[in-house]
């Protein structure tokens, strides 16, 4: 018997049923952030009574230690608490939002973001992070698309793996590692209509093929915990779904960490129509939930359910054991205060961490358009920097930056000013609507400053300033709280009050660069048609302004590529690159204007910007795809290569993407699927051959029996610079 098991056996032998149930209770005292409708009352008394297993929603040794003191010194068994926090894209040093970071396709950089976040979080007393969020999303109306890695399961799985490694570094007993909590299990990103918390309904094939892989990847990477989702799966809310939490997660995937619910999601099952608090709490316990976040359904009702035979003591024992094991893995039984030494606090917001944040902010900028090579800007030019986000600090962190202090963020104006002559005017408000601004005020902080001036006066001033400049840079887009939790939008354009400003700037006839701040894919058709260049900067975090300026002035050559499709209008949603063919495909390029084809009458089928799109200041030329064989036998390997040449003036990075199509199979397959990628750096005129080794692993899919199989036949191998710009070759793969 392992030392860990016998230690926990001994401890559990001493625990009463109430104390065991107490370990399953996760409480939020409030005061810092609060994402749900409630906070927990009388927390110290509850800890003393052995009714609390963990706490979350705050940070700082001075805030954590007093609670741990009570748990360790004033309870019968002195069991330490686990402390959680939403550390989503950095801790006090804020990195770009996860969707932005995913656009770097740079797993080392993404892992580094989680590593640094872990170092800062651990220094701040917290040992458990509610991250990574790995929900695949094909609907940009859903505000939480900002928190994930976009629409693709292959890329999403790589990101999930990198994040877990960054947080846990393969050894939770180290003082600077924290336990990851993968979320939200499962399918949360597929909420109907993109409306947060809404119903999800999908086929098993779709689930297994497109939505489940990133959760699995995070678990295979060793994530210590997982959070349930608010939505239902197959008609049963996730927090009460035994198929999901036990059959799939534990039995099929072998997960041995612990399962925590999302905020009050056990209680919310009553609203879903699953019964009263005792019934839904029993449902959750029997389904495989170990820890109850905030709702206290477990502490209030599990004992009665056990007495009435509705829940077995074994279920409580198993849950309690898993939570104690997590605490043991974090070294909390050896030293409950190991995260409270205060020793490493100087690492928080250190110059090194800020430098990393700046690099990440720059490397997540996606160059959407760059006519006549307008970017990079010349330092000799006079630049008119105009727009509601030009000198904005409050919105730089982006959604879910709970420990990030916006006052420490760098604005775009501050980033640009040291490098060129920059004239500035605000020009417009993010929105003129006070009501909207209030709705978006989170934790009492209003992030939208509405100017006292009349909007037309602001435009007049902006146009006058623009007339003195060689080039206009317009910083426009969303406010940070327009994406994230509870921030779904039915119109995903740049807020309309910014349009008159853009129209007036366009009318000046000056070269117009748009710098677009966003937490989701936006509809940018007008902007695409009217701007000369467009740089998508998302929300870049603490160093946003410096990182964006690095790109605008060409110190960093943009290389990021979109990880979520940008629709032309909301009516095209859901729109994603790995869609299936219809029986009546509309081939615009083929030129047949047939009525009975799968298309819209009022918009083309293609998105504005496809998955994988992103330009560079230089240009790359792709040679043909070469395969080392025309036929492959069974377990053989195929090497697909392409030569890429930098044909432009700047050194630059390119993300080379490999897609595969399986044109004939026993179930319908997508038109193409990402199966590999590599980021390479090329100097001007330099060329390099990039090779991908393909095995049957990359050909596998879930068939009607939900077996993960490959079927012999012909395959198309595509390599290119985006999902819509590829070169292809054919191979036959025999049994």
Nearer to ligand BGC, 218 or 556 (CB): 218
The one catalytic residue in 135, 262, 290, 662 is 262
Task: Read off φ and ψ for residue 693, nearest 5 degrees.
Answer: -95, 130
Residue ranges in 83-102 that form contacts with ligand BGC under rule CB under 6 A: 86
DSSP letters of 481-505?
GGSSTT---S--SSPGGGHHHHHHH
- The distance in angstroms from the start CA to the end CA of the chain is 45
Which is nearer to ligand BGC, 107 or 226 (by Cβ)? 226
Q: Site for ligand BGC (CB under 6 A): how many residues? A: 8
Strands 128-129 and 179-185: parallel
Which CB sits closer to ligand BGC, 484 or 541? Answer: 484
- Candidates 15, 19, 20, 35; binder of ligand BGC (CB under 6 A) is 35
User: Which residue, 135 or 654, has its beta carbon nearer to ligand BGC?
Assistant: 135
> Considering beta carbons, is residue 258 or 263 the nearer one to ligand BGC?
263
Q: Are 686 and 646 in contact (CB under 8 A)?
A: yes
Task: Pick one of 24, 25, 29, 36: the residue that binds ligand BGC (CB under 6 A).
Answer: 36
> Using CB under 6 A, which of 91, 141, 183, 510 touches ligand BGC?
183
Q: Output the smallest distance, CB 319 to ligand BGC, in A.
A: 19
DSSP 409: P
User: Site residues for ligand BGC, window 431-490 (CB under 6 A)?
Assistant: 485
Residue written as tokens 């200041």? Answer: 617
Show contacts with ligand BGC in window 67-86 (CB under 6 A): 86
Enclosing H/E stretch for 217: helix 213-220
**Residues 457, 425 contacting (CB under 8 angstroms):** no
CB 141 within 8 A of CB 488: yes
Is the Cα torsion angle 357, 363, 366, 369 positive or negative in sign?
positive
DSSP state of 291: B
Taking the complex as a whole, the smallest distance from the CB of residue 130 to ligand BGC amounts, in Å, to 4
Q: 719 has which bridge partners?
A: 658, 727
Dihedral Cα 55, 57, 63, 64, nearest 10 deg? 30
Of 33 and 417, CB closest to ligand BGC:
33
Residue 130 or 715 having the CB closest to ligand BGC: 130
Find tokens 């010194």 and name the residue: 73
By CB under 6 A, is residue 262 in contact with ligand BGC? Answer: yes
CB closer to ligand BGC out of 214 and 607 = 214
Q: Between 239 and 546, whose beta carbon lies closer to ligand BGC? A: 239
Residue 262 annotated as catalytic: yes
Supply the minimum distance, in Å, between the C-beta of residue 485 and ligand BGC. Answer: 6
Nearest CB to ligand BGC, comparing residues 147 and 359: 147
Tell me the C-alpha distance between 292 and 263, whole Å. 8
Least Å distance, CB 651 to ligand BGC, is: 40
Closer of 25 and 411 to ligand BGC (Cβ): 25
User: Beta strands of 557-698 (E only): which ranges?
Assistant: 620-622, 626-627, 631-633, 638-646, 652-661, 673-682, 687-694
- 171 burial (CB, 10 Å; 0-12 / 13-18 / 19+) is exposed
For residue 35, the minimal CB distance to ligand BGC (Å) is: 4
Site string for ligand BGC, 497-526 (x = CB under 6 A): ------------------------------
Contacts to ligand BGC from residues 558-587, by CB under 6 A: none
268: contact with ligand BGC by CB under 6 A: no
Angle CA(446)–CA(449)–CA(453) in degrees, nearest 5? 150
CB of 188 to ligand BGC, least distance (A): 8
Question: With respect to ligand BGC, which residue has the nearer C-beta, 209 or 485?
Answer: 485
> What SS3 class is residue 516?
strand
φ, ψ dihedrals at 481, nearest 5°:
-85, 10
Closest CB 36 distance from ligand BGC, rounded Å:
5
Closest CA to 23 of 307, 332, 292: 292
On the CB side of 630, how many CA atoms lie within 13 Å of its CA?
A: 0
HEC-encoded secondary structure of 628-642: CCCEEECCCCEEEEE
Structure token pair of residue 22: 């107490």
CA dist., res. 260 & res. 54, Å (int):
11
The SS3 assignment for 461 reads helix
d(CA 82, CA 525): 48
In angstroms, give the least distance from the CB of 85 to ligand BGC. 8
- In the complex, what is the shortest distance from the CB of residue 488 to ligand BGC, in angstroms, rounded to a whole number? 13
Which DSSP state fits 658? E
Residues 117-176 that bind ligand BGC (CB under 6 A): 130
Q: Looking at 72-224, which runs of residues are DSSP E strands?
A: 82-85, 128-129, 179-185
Residues 6+ apart with CB under 8 A from 214: 134, 135, 136, 149, 153, 156, 157, 159, 160
Work out how close the CB of 145 gets to ligand BGC at its nearest, in angstroms, rounded to a whole number. 13
Report the residue number, 262 or 481, with the smaller CB distance to ligand BGC. 262
Q: How far is the CB of 641 from ligand BGC (least distance, A)?
A: 42
Residue 666 DSSP code: S
For residue 486, the Cα-to-chain-centroid distance in whole angstroms is: 15
Are 506 and 545 a contacting pair, CB within 8 Å? no
Positions of E strands within 485-591: 512-517, 533-536
Residue with token string 């409306």: 195
- For residue 563, the minimal CB distance to ligand BGC (Å) is 20
Q: How far is it, in rounded angstroms, from Cα 663 to Cα 716?
A: 8
Instruction: Note whether 263 binds ligand BGC by CB under 6 A.
Output: yes
Q: State the Cα–Cα distance between residues 137 and 483, nearest whole angstrom.
A: 13
At its nearest, how many Å lie between ligand BGC and the CB of residue 1?
35
Distance CA 192, CA 90 (A): 30
Site for ligand BGC in 314-343 (CB under 6 A): none
- The number of residues making up the chain comes to 735
Task: Quickly count: other Cβ atoms within 10 Å of residue 637's Cβ.
Answer: 11
Which residues make up the interface to ligand BGC (CB under 6 A)? 35-36, 86, 130, 183, 262-263, 485
The catalytic residues are 262
């Amino acid at each position: 018997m392992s030392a860990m098991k016998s230690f926990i056996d001994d401890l559990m032998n001493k625990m009463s049923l109430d104390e065991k149930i107490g370990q399953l209770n996760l409480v939020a005292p409030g005061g810092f952030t609060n994402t749900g409708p409630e906070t927990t009352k009388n927390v110290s008394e509850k800890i003393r009574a052995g009714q609390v297993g963990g706490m979350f929603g705050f940070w700082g040794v001075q805030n954590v230690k007093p609670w741990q003191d009570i748990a360790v010194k004033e309870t019968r068994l002195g069991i330490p608490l686990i402390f959680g926090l939403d550390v989503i894209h950095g801790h006090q040093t804020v990195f770009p939002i996860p969707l932005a970071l995913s656009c770097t396709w740079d797993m080392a950089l993404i892992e580094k973001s989680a590593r640094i976040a872990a170092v800062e979080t651990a220094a701040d007393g917290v040992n458990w992070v509610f991250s990574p969020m790995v929900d695949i999303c094909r609907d940009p109306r859903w505000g939480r698309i900002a928190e994930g890695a976009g629409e693709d399961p292959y890329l999403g799985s790589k990101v999930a793996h990198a994040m877990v490694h960054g947080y846990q570094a393969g050894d939770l007993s180290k003082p600077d590692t924290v336990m990851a909590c993968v979320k939200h299990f499962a399918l949360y990103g597929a909420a109907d209509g993109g409306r947060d918390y809404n119903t999800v309904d999908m086929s098993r094939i779709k689930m297994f093929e497109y939505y489940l892989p990133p959760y699995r990847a995070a678990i295979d990477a060793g994530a210590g915990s997982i959070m349930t989702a608010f939505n239902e799966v197959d008609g049963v809310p996730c927090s009460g779904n035994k198929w999901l939490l036990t059959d799939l997660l534990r039995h099929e995937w072998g997960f041995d960490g612990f399962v925590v619910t999302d905020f009050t999601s056990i209680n919310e099952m009553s609203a879903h129509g699953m019964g009263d608090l005792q019934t839904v709490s029993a449902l959750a316990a029997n389904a495989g939930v170990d820890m109850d976040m905030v709702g206290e359904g477990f502490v209030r009702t599990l004992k009665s359910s056990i007495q009435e035979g509705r829940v077995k003591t074994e279920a409580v024992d198993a849950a309690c054991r898993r939570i104690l094991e997590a605490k043991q893995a974090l070294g909390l039984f050896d030293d409950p205060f190991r995260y409270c030494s205060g020793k490493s606090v100087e690492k928080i917001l250190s110059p090194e961490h800020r430098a990393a944040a700046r690099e990440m902010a720059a490397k997540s900028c996606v160059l959407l358009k760059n006519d006549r090579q307008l970017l990079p800007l010349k330092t000799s030019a006079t630049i008119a920097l105009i727009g509601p986000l030009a000198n904005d600090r409050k919105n730089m962190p982006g959604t879910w930056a709970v420990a990030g202090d916006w006052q420490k963020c760098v604005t775009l104006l501050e980033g640009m000013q040291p490098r060129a002559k920059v004239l500035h005017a605000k020009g417009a408000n993010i929105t003129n609507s006070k009501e909207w601004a209030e709705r978006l005020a989170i934790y009492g902080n209003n992030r939208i400053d509405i100017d006292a001036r009349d909007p037309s006066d602001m435009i007049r001033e902006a146009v006058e300033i623009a007339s003195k400049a060689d080039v206009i840079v317009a910083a426009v887009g969303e406010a940070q709280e327009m994406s994230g939790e509870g921030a779904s939008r039915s119109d995903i354009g740049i807020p309309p009050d910014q349009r008159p400003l853009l129209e007036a700037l366009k009318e000046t006839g000056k070269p117009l660069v748009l710098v677009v701040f966003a937490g989701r894919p936006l509809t940018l058709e007008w902007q695409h048609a009217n701007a000369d260049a467009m740089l998508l900067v998302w929300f870049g975090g603490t160093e946003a302004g410096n990182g964006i300026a690095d790109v605008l002035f060409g110190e960093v050559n943009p290389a990021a590529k979109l990880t979520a499709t940008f629709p032309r209008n909301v009516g095209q949603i859901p729109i994603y690159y790995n869609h299936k063919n219809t029986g009546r495909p509309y081939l615009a390029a083929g030129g047949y204007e047939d009525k009975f084809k799968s298309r819209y009458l009022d918009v083309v089928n293609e998105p504005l910007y496809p998955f994988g799109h992103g330009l560079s200041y230089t240009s790359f030329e792709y040679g043909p795809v070469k395969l080392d064989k025309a036929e492959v036998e069974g377990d053989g390997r195929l090497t697909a290569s392409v030569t890429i040449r930098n044909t432009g003036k700047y050194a630059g990075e390119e993300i080379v993407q490999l897609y595969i199509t399986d044109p004939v199979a026993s179930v319908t397959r997508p038109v193409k699927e990402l199966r590999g990628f590599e980021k390479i750096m090329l100097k001007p005129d330099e060329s390099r051959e990039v090779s991908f080794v393909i095995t049957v692993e990359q050909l596998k899919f879930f068939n009607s029996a939900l077996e993960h199989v490959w079927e012999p036949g012909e395959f198309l191998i595509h390599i290119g610079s985006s999902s819509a710009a590829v070169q292809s070759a054919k191979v036959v793969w025999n049994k």
